[in-house]
Amino acid sequence: MTDLTKLTLAEARDGLRRKSFSATELAKAHIMAIEAANSALNAYVLPTPEHALAQAAESDKRLAEGTARPLEGLPIGHKDLFCTKGIRTTACSKILDDFKPPYESTVGQNLWDAGAVMLGKLNNDEFAMGSSNETSAFGPVISPWRRIGKDGKPSTDKLVPGGSSGGSSAAVAAGLCLAATATDTGGSIRQPAALTGTVGIKPTYGRCSRWGIVAFASSLDQAGPIAKTVRDAAMMLGAMASHDPKDSTSVDAPVPNYEAALGKGVKGLRVGVPKEYRVPGMSREIEDLWQKGIDWLKSAGASIHEISLPHTKYALPAYYIVAPAECSSNLARYDGVRYGLRVPGKDVIDTYENTRAAGFGKEVRRRILIGTYVLSAGYYDAYYLKAQKVRTLIKRDFDEAWSKVDVVLTPTTPSPAFAFGEKSGDPIAMYLEDIFTVTVNMAGLPGISVPGGLSSEGTPLGLQLIAKPFDEETLFRAGQAIEDAAGRLTVQNEWWTAGAGKAREAAKKPDKSPGGKR
């Protein structure tokens, strides 16, 4: 019997329709995998097995009745930035303590309405602020990937899974869910996807509702999926996206059938290669990967064009003014009065200060301070207003490029996955991890990361595609062409627990519970 945790989302969907296994069996296989591996990987901050089994039982009824919904019975992980009704949501920060929202995020509700099964809440950088998942109040997520030494043996170095959606990328790569929700403010879907050999798409700003997602930077945040394949990502985004009257930035536009776009190919597609992305210090293997991507798309029938995006070099510094400014405003609501952590003081101001000092981690405090500074009297025009003008110029660069090309191809990250502590002591080095991804958020564009191959250390590398606003279909078409050429990347060395094998063997045994099929 096939290991159910090895299936893609599409394969699991087809297997459920064929009655090769039940939704309950599928959920149990992943629950067992989580129980066996989570202590080593720390991908889930709150597994919800009982909730998952109840949803799976409902899916089995619908499958038996022939009333299956698009994602019926498919178990996924849910980033802890999405509010879940009656289920703890903390944004992986001490300041939200044991907060249980009285409402469901729109994206989450869309997924449950489509029949998806929630396995639990996934770890992330605190308030989504980070590029390595080292800032979570629940501790760091460990990547399932390991470096390969010169002797051909796996290293014992613990690698980061990327951030902020590190729990999502690690869980998908390790088979602890079929797919996962994630959010992207400056690269937090695409960067972790690149570092773990998964597919991650950040849709156009406004494509997915932000209602019920804990805010970091409101003009930049956008929800999207991390999945095993391009097809799986298309399935997930189709369910997640919608117009939402509760979100003023949600765009009232029809959601295409993204999966249907995958068979169209890339013949005649114009692919832009921006010369400004050849940054000083970029490693040779990233250059080589980029060239492979160019060659693959050209072989598939696309034409290649060099383009210029002249304001790219200003994107990162402008981003790290805009994002902290919005963060300082959004996080002002956490004051120890209405919900979450409260540390009493001698008066209201003292309570505010005590609560925020105890509740926020180092990186969050750093960004609040930066944001408050750039918004302060005397500095607003010099920093924040100027950064917003740069943002307009970045968008204009892309607008001009779209008259020449249909999609832009770049690397996703400047380097492969790094070990814990290698960059966390140097904020600038950590911020540079987003050098290829922040332009997409600043311009409100859709971007996808697709695995392109392995580094010299045997760890994943990703290629990024960027498209016109609301043209995610072209991203999926081009992403499929790269995936077809590069092949899927899967973790070969399941080092994280000896118990994982036993759990999976147990999951293969016939399910004798009501509704169980084999």
Alpha helices in 432-497 (DSSP H): 438-443, 472-486
Question: Three-state DSSP class for 86?
Answer: coil
Closest CA to 76 of 12, 15, 147, 166: 12
In contact, 124 and 164? CB cutoff 8 Å: yes
Strands of 91-240, DSSP E: 117-122, 179-184, 199-202, 222-227
Judge whether 168 counts as a catalytic residue.
Answer: no
- Decide the pairing of beta strands 199-202 and 447-454: antiparallel
Which one of 22, 59, 136, 164 is the catalytic residue?
Answer: 164
Catalytic residue among 188, 209, 328, 449: 188
**Partners of 430 in the β-ladder:** none
Task: Clarify whether 248 is annotated catalytic.
Answer: no
Written as one string, the DSSP assignment of 490-504 is -----TT-THHHHHH
Among residues 79, 202, 228, 468, which one is catalytic? 79
> What letters, b where the CB count within 10 A reaches 16 and e where it falls short, cover 303-319?
eeeebebebbebbbebb
Q: Is 159 helix (H, G, I), strand (E, B) or coil?
A: strand
> Could you write out the DSSP letters of every residue in 327-361?
HHHHGGG-SSSSSS-----SSHHHHHHHHHHHHS-
Strand partners, 78: 121
Q: How many other CB atoms are there within 10 angstroms of residue 190's CB atom?
A: 35
Question: Is 218 part of the annotated catalytic residue set?
Answer: no
Q: Please, which residues have CB within 8 angstroms of residue 290's CB and are 6 or more apart in sequence?
A: 273, 409, 410, 411, 463
Catalytic residues: 79, 164, 188
